[in-house]
Structure 1
Amino acid sequence: MKAIRLRLNQNLVNYKFPVSFQLKETYPLPPYSTVIGMVHNACNYTEYKPMLVSIQGKYHSKVNDLATRYEFKNGMTFDASRHQLKVGDFGISVGVSTIELLSDVELMIHIVPENQYLIEEIYNSFLKPREYLSLGRREDLVVIKEVKIVEIINEKLRGENLELPFNYRAYIPVTVIENEKVLVEGEISEIEYKGTMYKISKNYELINYGTKKSPKIFRKWNKIDVHYVSNVVSLRRKEITIDEDKYMVFLA
């Protein structure tokens, strides 16, 4: 099985936490759906291509910044005394909000398309992108440090244990830790689930909650239960997923 390994840098970025409003919080690493969206945009795909993704990385610090906030209510007509923008007959209020940003982000991402014939196409789309690429908000540009096709293998280690790169953290699916394929060190032994647990969006289905004549289409997101952890060490004689350069891979 082959994968595209990306090494990316970003300056200031927000991977929006979907339920934060007053303070627009950020995930510590980009969600699977955000990475998959970047891949589809880079390749100019107009329909979903199933793929597995592994996400690892680090950031230096968090800072807060001001951002423009747009508010509107469905069906509310424009009122000059309360709205700053008019769109058709409807009004939009413009204000200020606070946004959380990660600084000096460094990422290592593995992308494994279900259709392995797409490997070269995805590789070339990142090697020679048709436009600048972003991850997070549209303005969150990425600097591509490496694009490489690597072999992904499942292997039982007999030598030294493998660790994450220095100061890196990763999204690890719950099943990987529950099956004791890796060990999270430096945690309190009495705690069963180590690290921070997230439900990370990956892809969605379009579901009609209305009728055939009056459809109401909503996105139903498929979410992955993960641990966001550091100090991850592989266990000997346990089969783990690695790439050809001995980097651990946590596909979801």
Structure 2
Amino acid sequence: MLRLKIYQESAHFRMPTIGTPYLSYPLPPPSTVYGFLRFITDYRSINFENTKLSIQGSYKGVSFEKERLILDTKKELKTNIIPIQKLHRCEWIIHIKSPHEEDILNAINNSSKVFRLGRKEDLIIDIIGEKVEEMRFNKDENEYNKNMKIYTNWNKENTINGSLFRMAFDTVVNEKKEIIGYKPINLIYTNVRQLSKICKIFDGEYLIEWI
């Protein structure tokens, strides 16, 4: 199992169902993480069918900034000024269980690519990838990081409090590797303290919730 610690000075993960202003998901969506992993490994077949993710993190501030967007239609170029929500001083903790772990770790340590998570302008300032052990979580354990927020799967039996989001789990492609749709998922954004009530695994520092 791998653990990635990612730091970004700013980030935006657009909610496609929201018009103006452009609002951001509070954590990177799974589809964004899968896309990032494919990009850094020269497009290995890393997807929801063979790779598990656990996504958590925190940010220190939020701002709304106006940006000039250009839409290229068949007839003309259209411009618009849109307020965009940005997250600042972001730290993401992403756990990965995959047959491509060695490829991912090698890419993080040796790739000459510029790493981004989200939009092209949302650069990754620092990233640390390391192998960690999956352990059983003791509910009385006090030595885990309690400051993070995390995604967990939503179901009718789930008693965790938090914000429910419907988002893209991963892209769906055809034989030509063209994106033809998105596989949706319902995730709750909650505090790790809430998750500790039902969490069964951790790595000695962070709780893990596979989605």
Q: Same fold by TM-score, threshold 0.5 exceeded?
A: yes
Aligned residue pairs: how many? 206
Q: Look up the match of 2:3.
A: 5
**In the alignment, is residue 178 of structure 1 matched against residue 178 of structure 2?**
no
Match of 1:203 among 139, 152, 170: 170
Match of 1:227 among 161, 165, 188: 188
SS in 2 for 1:23: coil
Match of 2:35 among 16, 34, 37: 37
**8 A contact 2:12–2:122 mirrored in 1:** yes
**In the alignment, is residue 28 of structure 1 matched against residue 10 of structure 2?**
no
Question: Aligned-residue CA RMSD in angstroms?
Answer: 2.6
229 and 93 in structure 1: CA distance in 2 versus 1, 3 angstrom threshold:
same
**8 A contact 1:163–1:248 mirrored in 2:** no
SS in 2 for 1:178: coil
Query: In 1, distance between residues paired with 2:78 and 2:137?
Result: 58
Superposed displacement of residue 222, structure 1? 1.5
218 and 4 in structure 1: CA distance in 2 versus 1, 3 angstrom threshold:
closer
**8 A contact 2:160–2:194 mirrored in 1:** no
Superposed displacement of residue 69, structure 1? 1.6
43 and 203 in structure 1: CA distance in 2 versus 1, 3 angstrom threshold:
same
Query: In 2, distance between residues paired with 1:143 and 1:226?
Result: 27
Q: Look up the match of 1:250.
A: 209
Query: In 2, distance between residues paired with 1:29 and 1:127?
Result: 24
37 and 207 in structure 1: CA distance in 2 versus 1, 3 angstrom threshold:
closer
Offset from partner CA, 1:211-247 (integer Å, 9 cap, x none) = xxxxxx8633212221101133534xx771222x242
Query: In 2, distance between residues paired with 1:251 and 1:239?
Result: 10
Match of 1:103 among 80, 88, 94: 88
246 and 166 in structure 1: CA distance in 2 versus 1, 3 angstrom threshold:
closer
**8 A contact 1:161–1:233 mirrored in 2:** no
**8 A contact 2:161–2:194 mirrored in 1:** no
Offset from partner CA, 1:155-196 (integer Å, 9 cap, x none) = 362x72357624210001125x936xxxxxxxxxxxx55100
Query: In 1, distance between residues paired with 2:199 and 2:90?
Result: 30
TM-score by length of 1: 0.72
Query: In 1, distance between residues paired with 2:144 and 2:55?
Result: 12
5 Å-filtered alignment, 1:40-119, equals 40-45=38-43, 47-49=45-47, 50-73=50-73, 75=74, 77=75, 91-113=76-98, 115=99, 118-119=100-101
| Alignment gaps of 5+ in structure 2 | none
- In structure 1, what residue type is equivalent to 2:170? N
Offset from partner CA, 1:60-102 (integer Å, 9 cap, x none) = 12101121222354x4x3xxxxxxxxxxxxx111232111100
Q: Look up the match of 1:126.
A: 108
TM-score by length of 2: 0.85
Query: In 1, distance between residues paired with 2:22 and 2:143?
Result: 32
Query: In 2, distance between residues paired with 1:232 and 1:145?
Result: 27
| Alignment gaps of 5+ in structure 1 | 78-90, 180-191, 209-216
SS in 2 for 1:105: strand
178 and 126 in structure 1: CA distance in 2 versus 1, 3 angstrom threshold:
farther
178 and 152 in structure 1: CA distance in 2 versus 1, 3 angstrom threshold:
farther
Larger of the two Rg values belongs to structure? 1
